[in-house]
Amino acid sequence: MKKPYWLVFVFLLWLIGASVWYILGVKGLSTDPKYFQPQPALVAVIEIVVMLSGAFIIGFGLAWWLRDEDVQRLVADRHEAEYALQNQRGALDATRKDFEQTHQKLLHAEERIGLLIGEKEHLMRQVESGNQQVQKDIQQARENEARAKQQEAEITSLRFRIRILENEVDEKTKQLETWRQDAAKTAAAPREKPVATPKPAMKPTPQEKDDLTQIKGIGPRFQQKLNSLDIYSFKQISEMSGEEVERLAEVIEVFPDRIHRDNWIGQATKLYMKKMSKE
């Protein structure tokens, strides 16, 4: 049983006990039916009811007055709690909104990071492809540079050979003119004299031998091999063609690229020109 019901039950027992005590003890009424007087008993009952009712009302009012401060304090605490609860709800709503905004920003950042990672991978592939292309271009440039040097050496050699041929043509022209003059004189002379014929080209004399080791890439061993092939002078090397260089490389057991890389023909041409200028 709950406490309020116990209080009501005790209060009723108190009423009954107080009523019996007042009627029997104070008023002195008898419980014998022979001596029962209705009017004094009724008056006693009314007095008891009035006194108990008054006591109840005074006690209830006193209790109410005593509890009013607690009730007001509780009401104030309740209002404060409700106000704090509203504030907490507002803060919670704001926090929820901030959380949603932060979550949206986080999703956007993750999406952006994914795009950046994709762009990075694409750029890395482009950089790798560019590096490969650069390596190819560098290799091609080196090949072109080596080819250009080779062609430059060949051009230099050809120019020098052209000069030599021009000089030889001039010499042959002069010699031919001399022969014509000699032939005219011979025809006009009373006796015929035999016309001299040009002698075939001779191998270089010892005085025409050059120190081939002055050419970078030719040592004493290569010089001996070249001399064994009747190659003694700078002029002979400067007049070599591409096919002659390849055949020479096979005989002296060296790669043709080395001859072109060291530019034997260009060096021989410069050394021969230097020699001719001194003479």
Structure confidence by residue, pLDDT tens digits, 177-236: 777 777 777 766 554 444 333 333 334 444 478 999 999 989 899 899 899 988 999 999
> Is residue 41 pLDDT above 80, yes or no?
no
For the chain, which residues make up each domain, given as ranges?
Answer: 1-59
Give alpha helix (H) positions in 189-231.
Answer: 220-228
Q: What pLDDT, on the 0 to 100 scale, is given for residue 113? A: 92
Structure tokens given for 237: 């090397």
Q: Which pTM does this prediction carry?
A: 0.31
User: DSSP assignment of 79-132, as one string?
Assistant: HHHHHHHHHHHHHHHHHHHHHHHHHHHHHHHHHHHHHHHHHHHHHHHHHHHHHH
How far apart CA 219 and CA 233 sit, in angstroms, is 15
Taking only the tens place, the pLDDT of each residue in 152-188 is 656 655 665 565 566 667 766 776 777 777 777 776 6
Residue 234 CB-density burial (10 A; 0-12 exposed, 13-18 middle, 19+ buried): buried
Average pLDDT over residues 265-277: 90
Give pLDDT tens digits for 113-133.
988 998 888 888 888 888 889
pLDDT tens per residue across span 53-86: 887 788 777 777 776 777 777 888 888 888 899 8
Residue 153's φ and ψ, nearest 5 degrees, are -65, -45
Q: What pLDDT is recorded for position 232?
A: 92
What's the confidence (pLDDT) of residue 267? 92
Task: Please report the sign of the dihedral spanned by the C-alpha atoms of residue 183, residue 189, residue 192, residue 197.
Answer: negative
Q: Where would I find the H helices in the chain?
A: 3-20, 38-188, 220-228, 234-238, 242-252, 256-262, 264-278
Q: How far apart are CA 76 and CA 105, in angstroms?
A: 42
